[in-house]
Amino acid sequence: MILGLALHVGMTQLGMLVMRATPQRAAWCARTARYFLMGMFWLSRIRVVVRGLDNAMNAHPVLILANHCSHADIIALLRTLPIHSVFVAKKELFRVPLLAHELRSHGHIAINRANPRQSLTVLNGIADQLALGRSVVVFPEGTRSPDGTLQPFHRAVFSVAFKRNIPILPVTIQGSTSVLSKDSLSIQPGTIELDIHAIVQPNQADTVDDLMAQVRASIGLHP
């Protein structure tokens, strides 16, 4: 996996020499990364089972909200989603060698969880990303679940979606912990399951809390 990441970094570096910094370049980086990750999953004997892919194809661009148990969640979504999506990721990941380059070249967004004002600015910028044709992935739990159960959601992202009427695509991820556990860097063979649910329209919810409850019910995991 690390070797594949290094090879893709080299490839995107070459691409960046001949392409200006545009949304099209970020989309190209994301598209090539998807094919590299498909190959790396195959070599690592990681199988991805996807249900409801048509929901993603028919809803782009949207706000994608998923549960979060492992860093493998990010890799599985990048490898699977056939649409250009950017992640809102904690700023610490932008300091990791190789990974930092991938995040920046694809146009992913850093969020400082310790700074509520900066976090809100990032979330308010989701509509701008959608206007560029990019879907945005957010893990509403804010961090990885320690035991696989769904943790409480942060309300801010739902407040932004409700006020700006941003459609939400809920995704359930299962099996990623067995592939890459929270406290390990060792990737194991296994199966990751992605269930992409029907879109949730904020204008059909009465309140922010109602919207949050609908998305939680769609993801379908409960503590």
For residue 13, give the CATH number of its domain.
3.40.1130.10
The number of angstroms, rounded, from the C-alpha of 35 to the middle of its chain's C-alpha atoms is 17
pTM of the model: 0.82
Domain that holds residue 38: 2-219
| Location of structure tokens 């359930």 | 172
> Both tokens of residue 6?
């290094």
Nearest Cα neighbor of 177 from 202, 153, 149 is 149
Task: Answer yes or no: are the C-beta atoms of 219 and 200 closer than 8 Å.
Answer: no
Residues in the chain: 223
CA of residue 177 relative to chain centroid, distance: 16
pLDDT per residue as tens, the chain (223 positions): 544 544 544 445 545 545 455 556 566 566 666 666 777 777 788 899 999 999 988 777 899 999 999 888 988 888 888 777 888 888 887 886 666 766 776 778 888 878 888 888 888 888 888 888 889 999 999 888 888 889 999 999 999 999 999 999 999 999 999 888 877 767 889 999 999 999 999 999 999 999 999 999 999 854 4
Token pair for residue 16?
A: 């960046």
How many independent structural domains does the chain possess?
1
